[in-house]
Amino acid sequence: MLWIASLPLTELGGYIFVWDDDAKESTCIHVPYGCLLLLQDDVIHGGGFPEQCTLIGQTLKWLHMYLPVQKGDVGLGQIDYVVDKT
């Protein structure tokens, strides 16, 4: 199993869409600058802007990485979370 880690590198933060298991409905998550979003490796996700977003045309940069863990380190169905660096 892997964790997917996304860290915004610009002060504007960033947005990630996360889809349900059927890939029919999505939720847009704003990740503030200074926070790290962790997702399980089976979560369908992608970057973008919400429809009402006023940041379209801005450049948002991310550090996107995969964090391997040993089998059994993380339980199935664990809630994903945003970690504030402060």
Can you give the pLDDT of all 86 residues of the chain as single tens digits?
Answer: 788 888 988 888 888 888 888 878 888 888 899 999 988 888 888 777 666 666 667 777 888 888 877 665 555 445 444 444 44
Cα 66 to the center of its chain, rounded Å: 12
CA distance 57 to 40: 30
pTM recorded for the entire structure: 0.66
Count of CB atoms situated within 10 Å of the CB of 62: 17
Domain boundaries, the chain: 2-62
Count of CB atoms situated within 10 Å of the CB of 70: 7
